[in-house]
Amino acid sequence: MLSSNSAPKCPCCTIPVDLIIQSSDKQLFGGHTSVVTAQGLKQEQTHRDTRGKSLIVLDEPGYIVQTLLRLLHSDGLPRSPDELLEMDASHLVSLACAAEKYGVSTVASACKDVIRARVADMPWYALRYSLDCNHVDILDLAAPLTIGRLPSNSKGRPDHLDILGSNQQWQLAWYTYREQYLHLIDAVLRQPPPHKNAKHKLHDCGAWAPYRDAVLHDLPYTPLFDILSEMAEHGADTVFPRSSWEKDIIPPGWEPHECETCLQRAAKWRDDVSRRFRKLEPLSKVLERMGGG
């Protein structure tokens, strides 16, 4: 209950208030039932204040409540087209989740469009938003962008799990999702062993080493985080194009004939990589398979 007899003023206009909104950090804001009702704000947590005005207690901090109130006053539209585009990622996602939670569809829709447009600049926050609000389309746009270098806090400690929150199923699903790409890298870098003949002698016609070097020449292969970051930025198909394995395997002095034994080894290598590509699942499918989607 409020101890003072003076109701807080609306931060957006001078019209007398008939509604008081309290944030999670106990800040108080004046509001208008007509505006709240018109914009569809759900009021499950409403009760009477000592002044006879309705009191709504929200779970969001004051800066989010104030932003939401301002947008409610402007029919859910930002002050300028660039306001949401330039908003801090954490602020934007918190605002978007609040708008979805309280059923403010105009604000929720505007925020979702901007998060989708900014997904490359804020993949971890977009991922958290999509998980919180069950937006599979944004989830599968953001997830591939998170497999590279992990975000760090001011002390240098990885804080991607802080962004994902305490939901262990989300954390496990993300690690399972990322592991697919580690298996793909392993398939790229792990060449099949050479053929061993009846005398247990390894095949060595002199063609394999030049072929291997030609395949790997344009592929990133060290360090691991650089490979993952390349895939996050450009996509696994671009980083590891299957055409890289389509090269001649001609032993010295055999021109123009290729070595059939080495061709079989190359086909096995290429098939191993292709199989790993086929096994790549979007994060939404990983979550669904784990029962968390």
Cβ contacts of 164-170, under 8 Å, gap ≥ 24 = 164/127, 164/128, 164/131, 165/128, 167/131, 169/287, 169/290, 169/291, 169/292, 170/131, 170/287, 170/292
The amino acid occupying position 131 is: L
Instruction: Give the span between the Cα atoms of 108 and 41, in whole angstroms.
Output: 11
CB burial readout 51-79, b (16+ within 10 A) else e: eebbbbebebebebbbbbbbbbbeebebe
The pTM of the full predicted model, rounded to 2 decimals, is: 0.81
205: closest CA among 264, 153, 162, 156?
264
Q: Is the dihedral of CA 60, 63, 66, 71 positive or negative?
A: negative
Q: What is the pLDDT of residue 63?
A: 94
Give residue 5's region: left, alpha or beta (phi > 0; psi -120 to 50).
Answer: alpha
Give me the residues paired with residue 152 across strands. Answer: 158
178: closest CA among 255, 113, 232?
232
Give residue 52's region: left, alpha or beta (phi > 0; psi -120 to 50).
Answer: left
DSSP string covering 75-134: TT--SSTTHHHHS-HHHHHHHHHHHHHTT-HHHHHHHHHHHHHTTTT-HHHHHHHHHHHT
Q: What is the pLDDT of residue 1?
A: 40
Give me the tens of pLDDT residue by residue for the chain, a chain 293 residues long: 444 456 787 777 778 888 888 889 999 888 787 766 655 565 555 556 656 677 888 889 999 999 988 888 776 566 666 889 999 999 999 999 999 998 888 889 999 999 999 999 999 999 999 999 999 999 999 999 999 867 666 555 556 667 777 788 998 999 999 999 999 999 999 999 999 887 889 999 999 999 999 998 877 766 788 889 889 989 999 999 989 999 999 999 999 999 999 999 999 999 999 999 999 999 999 999 988 66
Please answer whether residues 66 and 91 qualify as being in contact, where contact means their C-beta atoms are separated by less than 8 angstroms.
Answer: no
Helices vs strands, H then E, count in the chain:
14, 4
- Please name the helix (run of DSSP H) or strand (run of DSSP E) that holds residue 21, with its range, or none: strand 19-22
Peptide bond just before 223 cis, omega within 30 deg:
yes
